[in-house]
Structure 1
Amino acid sequence: MKINLKRLNNNYHFETKNERGDIVHLDNKSEENPQGSSPMDLLLRGIAGCSSIDVVMILKKQHLELDDLQVEVEGFREDGAIPNVFKKIHLNFMLKGDIPEAKAKRAVSLSMEKYCSVSKMLEKAAEISYEVNLNEKLIS
Protein backbone atom coordinates (compact mmCIF):
# COMPACT_ATOMS: atom_id res chain seq x y z
CA MET A 1 0.00 0.00 0.00
CA LYS A 2 1.37 3.39 -0.97
CA ILE A 3 -0.02 6.92 -0.64
CA ASN A 4 1.34 10.09 -2.24
CA LEU A 5 0.66 13.51 -0.70
CA LYS A 6 0.90 16.86 -2.48
CA ARG A 7 0.46 20.32 -0.94
CA LEU A 8 -2.16 22.38 -2.80
CA ASN A 9 -1.94 25.82 -1.22
CA ASN A 10 0.22 27.96 1.07
CA ASN A 11 -1.50 26.60 4.18
CA TYR A 12 -2.62 23.09 5.10
CA HIS A 13 -4.62 21.82 2.13
CA PHE A 14 -3.19 18.56 0.79
CA GLU A 15 -4.25 16.02 -1.79
CA THR A 16 -3.51 12.36 -1.15
CA LYS A 17 -3.66 9.74 -3.86
CA ASN A 18 -3.36 5.97 -3.59
CA GLU A 19 -1.98 3.55 -6.18
CA ARG A 20 -5.41 3.24 -7.86
CA GLY A 21 -5.68 7.01 -8.23
CA ASP A 22 -8.34 7.55 -5.55
CA ILE A 23 -8.05 11.07 -4.14
CA VAL A 24 -8.74 12.29 -0.61
CA HIS A 25 -8.23 15.89 0.48
CA LEU A 26 -6.74 16.79 3.86
CA ASP A 27 -6.80 20.10 5.67
CA ASN A 28 -6.34 21.60 9.10
CA LYS A 29 -9.73 21.72 10.82
CA SER A 30 -8.84 25.07 12.39
CA GLU A 31 -8.69 26.74 8.97
CA GLU A 32 -11.53 29.19 8.23
CA ASN A 33 -12.71 27.18 5.22
CA PRO A 34 -11.18 23.69 5.38
CA GLN A 35 -10.96 21.92 2.03
CA GLY A 36 -10.78 18.39 3.38
CA SER A 37 -10.86 16.11 6.37
CA SER A 38 -8.41 16.33 9.22
CA PRO A 39 -6.10 13.35 9.74
CA MET A 40 -7.86 12.46 13.02
CA ASP A 41 -11.22 12.68 11.25
CA LEU A 42 -9.92 10.17 8.71
CA LEU A 43 -9.07 7.71 11.50
CA LEU A 44 -12.70 7.74 12.65
CA ARG A 45 -13.88 7.38 9.06
CA GLY A 46 -11.45 4.49 8.67
CA ILE A 47 -12.79 2.51 11.62
CA ALA A 48 -16.39 3.10 10.47
CA GLY A 49 -15.58 1.99 6.93
CA CYS A 50 -13.48 -1.02 7.88
CA SER A 51 -16.03 -2.38 10.32
CA SER A 52 -18.93 -1.73 7.93
CA ILE A 53 -17.23 -3.67 5.14
CA ASP A 54 -16.80 -6.58 7.56
CA VAL A 55 -20.44 -6.47 8.71
CA VAL A 56 -21.76 -6.46 5.14
CA MET A 57 -19.40 -9.28 4.15
CA ILE A 58 -20.31 -11.45 7.16
CA LEU A 59 -24.04 -11.02 6.58
CA LYS A 60 -23.73 -11.64 2.82
CA LYS A 61 -21.94 -14.95 3.53
CA GLN A 62 -25.04 -15.91 5.53
CA HIS A 63 -27.28 -14.85 2.62
CA LEU A 64 -28.68 -11.95 4.66
CA GLU A 65 -29.12 -8.58 2.94
CA LEU A 66 -29.19 -5.27 4.76
CA ASP A 67 -31.66 -2.60 3.70
CA ASP A 68 -29.47 0.05 5.31
CA LEU A 69 -26.31 0.33 7.39
CA GLN A 70 -25.15 3.50 9.09
CA VAL A 71 -22.43 3.98 11.68
CA GLU A 72 -21.97 6.98 13.92
CA VAL A 73 -18.46 7.22 15.38
CA GLU A 74 -17.39 9.56 18.14
CA GLY A 75 -13.80 10.04 19.24
CA PHE A 76 -12.88 11.49 22.61
CA ARG A 77 -9.54 13.23 23.12
CA GLU A 78 -7.89 14.58 26.24
CA ASP A 79 -8.12 18.38 26.25
CA GLY A 80 -4.76 20.08 26.13
CA ALA A 81 -2.75 16.89 25.74
CA ILE A 82 0.13 16.83 23.28
CA PRO A 83 -0.09 14.74 21.25
CA ASN A 84 -3.87 14.91 21.46
CA VAL A 85 -4.69 11.28 20.67
CA PHE A 86 -8.03 9.54 20.99
CA LYS A 87 -8.52 8.04 24.46
CA LYS A 88 -11.96 6.59 23.70
CA ILE A 89 -13.82 5.77 20.50
CA HIS A 90 -17.49 4.77 20.45
CA LEU A 91 -19.34 3.36 17.44
CA ASN A 92 -23.11 3.16 17.06
CA PHE A 93 -24.07 0.63 14.37
CA MET A 94 -27.56 1.16 12.93
CA LEU A 95 -28.71 -1.76 10.78
CA LYS A 96 -32.02 -2.14 9.00
CA GLY A 97 -33.43 -5.22 7.36
CA ASP A 98 -34.82 -8.69 7.91
CA ILE A 99 -31.84 -9.82 9.98
CA PRO A 100 -32.12 -11.97 13.13
CA GLU A 101 -30.91 -10.03 16.18
CA ALA A 102 -28.33 -12.66 17.09
CA LYS A 103 -26.80 -12.54 13.61
CA ALA A 104 -26.65 -8.73 13.59
CA LYS A 105 -24.93 -8.71 17.00
CA ARG A 106 -22.54 -11.46 15.94
CA ALA A 107 -21.57 -9.73 12.68
CA VAL A 108 -20.68 -6.51 14.49
CA SER A 109 -18.91 -8.39 17.29
CA LEU A 110 -16.80 -10.40 14.83
CA SER A 111 -15.81 -7.25 13.01
CA MET A 112 -14.89 -5.23 16.07
CA GLU A 113 -13.19 -8.01 18.01
CA LYS A 114 -11.56 -10.07 15.27
CA TYR A 115 -11.54 -8.80 11.67
CA CYS A 116 -11.41 -5.00 11.49
CA SER A 117 -7.74 -4.11 11.06
CA VAL A 118 -8.35 -0.45 11.90
CA SER A 119 -10.14 -1.32 15.14
CA LYS A 120 -7.41 -3.76 16.16
CA MET A 121 -4.73 -1.14 15.51
CA LEU A 122 -6.54 1.70 17.30
CA GLU A 123 -7.42 -0.41 20.35
CA LYS A 124 -3.73 -0.35 21.27
CA ALA A 125 -4.10 3.37 21.99
CA ALA A 126 -7.78 3.93 22.77
CA GLU A 127 -10.64 2.23 24.56
CA ILE A 128 -13.12 1.18 21.85
CA SER A 129 -16.79 0.52 22.57
CA TYR A 130 -19.79 -0.08 20.35
CA GLU A 131 -23.52 -0.60 20.34
CA VAL A 132 -25.80 -2.26 17.82
CA ASN A 133 -29.25 -1.07 16.78
CA LEU A 134 -31.42 -3.19 14.52
CA ASN A 135 -34.49 -1.64 12.92
CA GLU A 136 -34.25 1.31 15.34
CA LYS A 137 -34.08 -0.93 18.43
CA LEU A 138 -30.99 -1.16 20.65
CA ILE A 139 -29.96 -4.84 20.78
CA SER A 140 -26.52 -4.59 22.42
Structure 2
Amino acid sequence: MKVKAFWRIRYQVDVRARQFSVLTDEPVGFSGDDTGMMPTELFLSSIASCFCMALIYAAGKRQIEVEDMEVEVEGEKDLKNFRFTKLIVRVIRTVPSLTLEGLIEDARKYCFVSRTILDGCPIEYEVV
Protein backbone atom coordinates (compact mmCIF):
# COMPACT_ATOMS: atom_id res chain seq x y z
CA MET A 1 0.00 0.00 0.00
CA LYS A 2 1.34 3.43 -0.89
CA VAL A 3 0.25 7.06 -0.95
CA LYS A 4 2.06 10.05 -2.46
CA ALA A 5 1.96 13.69 -1.42
CA PHE A 6 2.59 16.56 -3.84
CA TRP A 7 3.23 20.07 -2.56
CA ARG A 8 1.22 22.71 -4.42
CA ILE A 9 1.61 26.13 -2.80
CA ARG A 10 2.05 27.50 0.74
CA TYR A 11 0.74 24.62 2.92
CA GLN A 12 -1.46 22.97 0.31
CA VAL A 13 -0.57 19.35 -0.38
CA ASP A 14 -2.34 16.99 -2.77
CA VAL A 15 -2.33 13.44 -1.38
CA ARG A 16 -2.97 10.60 -3.82
CA ALA A 17 -3.73 6.92 -3.38
CA ARG A 18 -4.76 4.73 -6.29
CA GLN A 19 -7.20 6.83 -8.36
CA PHE A 20 -8.21 9.11 -5.45
CA SER A 21 -6.87 12.42 -4.20
CA VAL A 22 -7.39 14.62 -1.16
CA LEU A 23 -6.27 18.22 -0.77
CA THR A 24 -4.78 19.03 2.62
CA ASP A 25 -4.02 22.45 4.03
CA GLU A 26 -3.76 24.35 7.29
CA PRO A 27 -6.23 26.94 8.58
CA VAL A 28 -5.54 30.63 7.99
CA GLY A 29 -4.46 30.98 11.64
CA PHE A 30 -1.64 28.50 10.95
CA SER A 31 -0.39 30.18 7.73
CA GLY A 32 -2.58 28.09 5.41
CA ASP A 33 -5.47 28.99 3.12
CA ASP A 34 -8.01 26.57 4.69
CA THR A 35 -8.68 24.85 1.34
CA GLY A 36 -8.74 21.32 2.73
CA MET A 37 -8.58 19.20 5.84
CA MET A 38 -5.50 19.41 8.01
CA PRO A 39 -3.29 16.29 8.06
CA THR A 40 -4.19 15.88 11.73
CA GLU A 41 -7.88 15.79 10.76
CA LEU A 42 -7.08 13.15 8.13
CA PHE A 43 -5.27 11.19 10.83
CA LEU A 44 -8.40 11.26 13.02
CA SER A 45 -10.50 10.50 9.92
CA SER A 46 -8.42 7.38 9.31
CA ILE A 47 -9.16 6.14 12.81
CA ALA A 48 -12.87 6.97 12.57
CA SER A 49 -13.45 5.43 9.15
CA CYS A 50 -11.39 2.30 9.84
CA PHE A 51 -13.09 1.71 13.19
CA CYS A 52 -16.51 2.23 11.61
CA MET A 53 -15.65 -0.35 8.93
CA ALA A 54 -14.33 -2.70 11.63
CA LEU A 55 -17.64 -2.40 13.50
CA ILE A 56 -19.57 -3.25 10.33
CA TYR A 57 -17.22 -6.19 9.69
CA ALA A 58 -17.69 -7.42 13.29
CA ALA A 59 -21.47 -7.09 12.96
CA GLY A 60 -21.39 -9.12 9.75
CA LYS A 61 -19.36 -11.88 11.40
CA ARG A 62 -21.98 -12.03 14.17
CA GLN A 63 -24.80 -11.82 11.63
CA ILE A 64 -26.10 -8.62 13.22
CA GLU A 65 -27.97 -6.32 10.87
CA VAL A 66 -26.90 -2.70 11.20
CA GLU A 67 -29.01 0.08 9.74
CA ASP A 68 -26.86 2.99 10.85
CA MET A 69 -23.37 3.45 12.29
CA GLU A 70 -21.56 6.60 13.40
CA VAL A 71 -18.09 6.94 14.87
CA GLU A 72 -16.57 10.17 16.13
CA VAL A 73 -12.89 10.58 17.01
CA GLU A 74 -11.55 13.48 19.04
CA GLY A 75 -7.90 14.21 19.61
CA GLU A 76 -6.30 16.40 22.24
CA LYS A 77 -3.34 18.22 20.71
CA ASP A 78 -0.12 19.30 22.36
CA LEU A 79 0.87 22.12 20.01
CA LYS A 80 4.24 22.66 21.71
CA ASN A 81 5.36 19.08 21.14
CA PHE A 82 3.57 18.51 17.80
CA ARG A 83 1.59 15.45 18.88
CA PHE A 84 -1.71 14.18 20.15
CA THR A 85 -1.78 13.38 23.86
CA LYS A 86 -5.14 11.61 23.87
CA LEU A 87 -7.47 10.05 21.30
CA ILE A 88 -11.11 9.36 22.10
CA VAL A 89 -13.19 7.07 19.88
CA ARG A 90 -16.93 7.48 20.37
CA VAL A 91 -19.40 5.04 18.87
CA ILE A 92 -22.81 6.64 18.63
CA ARG A 93 -25.30 4.04 19.85
CA THR A 94 -27.33 2.57 16.98
CA VAL A 95 -27.76 -0.99 18.27
CA PRO A 96 -28.54 -2.28 21.82
CA SER A 97 -25.79 -1.50 24.36
CA LEU A 98 -24.83 -5.11 25.12
CA THR A 99 -24.55 -5.90 21.42
CA LEU A 100 -22.54 -2.74 20.80
CA GLU A 101 -20.06 -3.52 23.58
CA GLY A 102 -19.30 -6.89 21.97
CA LEU A 103 -18.97 -5.29 18.55
CA ILE A 104 -16.58 -2.67 19.91
CA GLU A 105 -14.45 -5.38 21.52
CA ASP A 106 -14.28 -7.25 18.20
CA ALA A 107 -13.71 -4.08 16.16
CA ARG A 108 -10.70 -3.20 18.30
CA LYS A 109 -9.10 -6.38 16.93
CA TYR A 110 -10.07 -5.65 13.31
CA CYS A 111 -9.24 -1.93 13.07
CA PHE A 112 -5.93 -1.79 11.20
CA VAL A 113 -5.34 1.91 11.93
CA SER A 114 -5.97 1.95 15.68
CA ARG A 115 -4.05 -1.31 16.15
CA THR A 116 -1.05 0.19 14.38
CA ILE A 117 -1.18 3.21 16.70
CA LEU A 118 -1.65 1.11 19.86
CA ASP A 119 0.98 -1.49 18.97
CA GLY A 120 3.44 1.02 17.50
CA CYS A 121 5.15 0.83 14.15
CA PRO A 122 8.65 1.98 13.23
CA ILE A 123 8.94 4.69 10.58
CA GLU A 124 11.89 4.73 8.20
CA TYR A 125 12.82 7.90 6.31
CA GLU A 126 14.58 7.58 2.95
CA VAL A 127 15.82 10.02 0.33
CA VAL A 128 15.34 8.71 -3.22
TM-score range, shorter chain: 0.7 to 0.9
The structural deviation recorded for 1:62 is: 2.2
Superposition pairs of residues 23-42 of structure 1, within 5 angstroms: 23-29=21-27, 30-31=30-31, 33-42=33-42
Over 3 Å counting, the alpha-carbon distance change for 1:6 and 1:105 in structure 2 is same
The 2-side partners of 1:106 and 1:62 are apart by 10
Which residue does 1:120 correspond to in 2? 115
Which residue does 1:75 correspond to in 2? 75
1:46 and 2:46 matched? yes
Amino acid at match of 1:56: I
Over 3 Å counting, the alpha-carbon distance change for 1:33 and 1:79 in structure 2 is closer
Amino acid at match of 2:115: K
Which residue does 2:106 correspond to in 1? 110
The 1-side partners of 2:67 and 2:100 are apart by 13
Q: Which has the higher strand share?
A: 1
State how many pairs are aligned.
Answer: 118
- 3-state SS, counterpart of residue 63 of structure 2: coil
Which residue does 1:135 correspond to in 2? none
The structural deviation recorded for 1:77 is: 2.0
Q: Which has the higher helix share?
A: 2
The structural deviation recorded for 1:50 is: 0.8
Q: CA RMSD in A?
A: 1.9
Which residue does 2:90 correspond to in 1? 92
Q: Which structure 2 residue ranges, 5 or more long, are not aligned?
A: 121-128
The 2-side partners of 1:87 and 1:63 are apart by 36
The 8 Å contact of residues 74 and 87 in structure 2, kept in 1 or not, is answered as: yes
Superposition pairs of residues 49-64 of structure 1, within 5 angstroms: 49-64=49-64
Q: Report the identity percentage.
A: 24
The structural deviation recorded for 1:102 is: 2.4
The TM-score normalised by the length of structure 2 is 0.80
Amino acid at match of 1:93: V
The 1-side partners of 2:92 and 2:35 are apart by 29
- CA deviations over 1:37-67 (Å, ceiling 9, x no partner): 1111111111111111010011122222222
Structure 1 runs of 4+ aligned residues shifted over 3 Å read none
The TM-score normalised by the length of structure 1 is 0.74
